Amino acid sequence: MMKTSAAVNHTVLEDNAQVKVTDKFWLNYMELIRTEMLPYQWRVLNDLEDIEIAKERDADYIPSEKSHAIENFKIAAGRSQGHHYGMVFQDSDVYKWLEAAAYTLARVPEDKKLREAADSVVELIAAAQEDDGYLGTYFTVEAPKRKFKRLYQSHELYCAGHFIEAAVAYHKATGNQLVLDTACRLADCLDRHFGPEEHKIHGYDGHEEIELALFRLYETVGNKRYLELGRYFLYQRGKDPDFFRKQCRADADTSVLIEGMEGFKDSYYQNHKPILEQETAEGHAVRVMYMCTGMAMLARLKNDGKMRQAARRLWKNITEKRMYITGAVGSTVIGEAFTADYDLPNDSMYGETCASVGLMFFAHNMLKDEAGHGAYADVMERALYNTVLSGMALDGRHFFYVNPLEVVPELSRKDPGKSHIKTTRQAWFGCACCPPNLARLISSLDEYIYSTADDTIYVDLYVGSDAELSLADKKVALSMTSQFPWEGNVELTTKTDGRYGIALRIPSWAKNYKIAINGSVVHEEKQDGYVTLRRNWHKDDRVTLEIPMEATLYQATPEVREDIGRLAVQRGPLVYCAESIDNGDGLERIRLVDGMEFTYEYSDELFSGAGILHTDAVREAKGNSLYSPYGKPRSLHRQELKLIPYYCWGNRGENEMMVWLYHK
């Protein structure tokens, strides 16, 4: 079926789809999150983790003295005495934990300990909610008079959004009604305070998140007021770039809620112009991603063509001009922000884990709005297997916030402009966004595998799974096994008789592919990145897809200054990199040569199982003088080059790393 650019009829996936991940590669991460990360985070949130030990483990990292996040709720609930401690958005740590716990419990309902912790936190949150539905421990405890009065920094709606997302997920996983009621009371409270009516606040939060959360709540409970409120927040954004300043002037209390943010421009908050007029991704990258996710959801839920066009425009700007080959976004640490088209420095970038998680949200929701457009799934895959995975150590307890494409430890120490480039992953502690964001993404990966439209199932990610999916007029079950990301062999088995389409995604990196049904090769044409097999399917029909994975050299468009004369290596969905532990210090003196061939070797030993690339390159000798006339023959020596998957870097101690290798 040729996809048109108009939205098609959608089935609400969350309500009806049942997908269970069976994939070894991903179950390993999901179990790490269940057995290591969530218990660890729980101890941190409850101030049970030993700070001194954490400091010792990561000498370079100065954690907050404590989290206090659960204690803040206890104080707000009147069950404990004291002051709020931590960031004004400290609550969101708890919500993101709860959301990850929800997805985990959906997969492993028998994890009693986790269920008990989660139930108890739901009960505590409900107790901390005020009578009018307001929820936010900082303002309840410390500054009740400033509620909604400093929205550019308060993160009140941001936190509300995270709670609502957690509530939707926890309700779905466990049927817990209290959490959903609490979320609806909170949404009702926001609805009473915000909107176009004269007596309401004509504004929005400094950090987007509430929009997409309200849409999820609407999809769960069907209350159109939530849909309209989310829509209002999106459309109101940037209509009056002075809104935040006016709020600050009107606030009798002049103290700021977060230090060091006074210098940020309107565009940091995507507040510089109305949302439909924003043609480029500007400002804080995570904010942009959450805004765009909301835009894509609204386009689908209200079939809003203008919003769809605006979302597509930002999508194109981000993915065609402002995204790293690893799916990282955010070119500067200052404001953790986008900068300009094609400005993609490798060694001073930000590339926050959360921003790539957000990019996956955006891509996923573009797919939900326009299933079967390969570019969305390509980017989702790129972000997932590279930057998102890179965010977590193989032990599940150490994390990168910043995901650079090039690291020289000496420069991280000596160049203050690179001090944010950490060379090894750090323990999660105190206030943190990326680790729990990563946890909720990976724990809910089942939602990202398939999309549906009309009578077609689109396989967007090749993650082994058992699925029951709803099409326009029927329910369909199928199972998938996959050797991704190491080999491009996938097998789908239908579990349901009937006529429907199965659309297999052919990733943009695929040079060729072979599809067979019950052993017979078929030749349907690829359209927009998918091959759709429309058949009268029978139970246990077997569809096999073979995509040869070859190590391939990639170049960037010549407008990307930082990548001129450099090449990156990708094999399948995985971007590779060189580390100096394998290749010697001074990676900048290694040169790729034309005609090189890669050998691929999978080892169960390395990185809990990983495929490694080897090739022959050359290394340029150190020079004799800083500047010399060009033309003398260079001193080159043969160099065996070993490349590892990008997401594995930094797991063997501090060393140099490089993705874009120099070409002779």
Q: Catalytic residue positions? A: 336, 433
Cα separation of 563 and 566, whole Å? 5
Per-residue contact flags (x/-) with a copy of itself for residues 317 to 346, judged by CB under 8 A: --xxx-x-x-----xxxxx-x-xx--x---
- In this chain, which stretch among 54-62, 179-187, 484-492, 554-562 interacts with a copy of itself, using CB under 8 A? 554-562
Q: Are 273 and 239 in contact (CB under 8 A)?
A: no
Please report, as residue ranges, which positions from 580 to 609 form the binding site for a copy of itself (by CB under 8 A). 586, 588-589
Among 20, 113, 200, 414, binds a copy of itself (CB under 8 A): 414
Q: Output the smallest distance, CB 204 to a copy of itself, in A.
A: 24
Say whether the peptide bond before residue 404 is cis (omega within 30 degrees of 0): no
From CA 37, how far away is CA 439, in angstroms rounded? 8
Residue 317 or 544: the one with the smaller Cβ distance to a copy of itself is 317
Q: Which of 553, 581, 593, 606 binds a copy of itself (CB under 8 A)?
A: 553
In whole angstroms, the minimum distance from the beta carbon of 422 to a copy of itself comes to 17
Question: Does 386 engage in binding with a copy of itself (CB under 8 A)?
Answer: no
How far is CA 345 from each of CA 336, 349, 350, 591, rounded to the nearest angstrom?
A: 13, 6, 9, 19
Pick from 175, 260, 519, 629: which binds a copy of itself (CB under 8 A)?
A: 629
Whole-angstrom distance, CA of residue 352 vs CA of residue 329:
7
Cα 606 versus chain centre, distance: 26
- Tell me which residues in 192-211 interact with a copy of itself (CB under 8 A): none
Note whether 88 and 257 are within 8 A (CB). Answer: yes
Please tell me whether residue 420 binds a copy of itself under the rule CB under 8 A: no
* Cβ proximity to a copy of itself, 325 vs 480, nearer residue: 325
In the bound state with a copy of itself, the residue whose beta carbon lies nearer, of 586 and 609, is 586
Please report whether residue 558 would count as binding a copy of itself according to CB under 8 A: yes
Quick one: which of 106, 183, 533, 560 contacts a copy of itself (CB under 8 A)?
560
Q: Which stretch binds a copy of itself (CB under 8 A): 116-124, 140-148, 315-323, 389-397?
A: 315-323
406: amino acid identity, one letter: E
- Stretches 446-454, 459-467, 473-481, 562-570: which one binds a copy of itself (CB under 8 A)? 562-570
| Residue from 199, 254, 605, 630 in contact with a copy of itself (CB under 8 A) | 630
The answer to whether 310 contacts a copy of itself (rule: CB under 8 A) is: no
* Listed residue (441, 486, 440, 438) closest to 462, CA to CA: 486
Question: What are the beta bridge partners of residue 638?
Answer: 618
- Tell me whether residue 70 or residue 641 sits nearer to a copy of itself (CB atom): 641
Q: How far is the CB of 401 from a copy of itself (least distance, A)?
A: 18
| d(C-alpha 573, C-alpha 25), whole Å | 14
Cα 484-438-134 angle, rounded to 5 deg:
145
Q: Report angle CA 268, 154, 73 to the nearest 5 degrees.
A: 140
662 touching a copy of itself, by CB under 8 A: yes
The answer to whether 482 and 462 have CB atoms below 8 angstroms apart is: yes
Report how far residue 376's alpha carbon sits from residue 393's, in angstroms, rounded to the nearest whole number.
27
Distances 515 to 426, 455, 492, 496 between C-alpha atoms, Å: 43, 20, 11, 20
Q: Which residues contribute to the site for a copy of itself (CB under 8 A)?
A: 319-321, 323, 325, 331-335, 337, 339-340, 343, 347-348, 410-411, 414-417, 552-561, 564-565, 567-568, 586, 588-589, 620-631, 634, 662-663
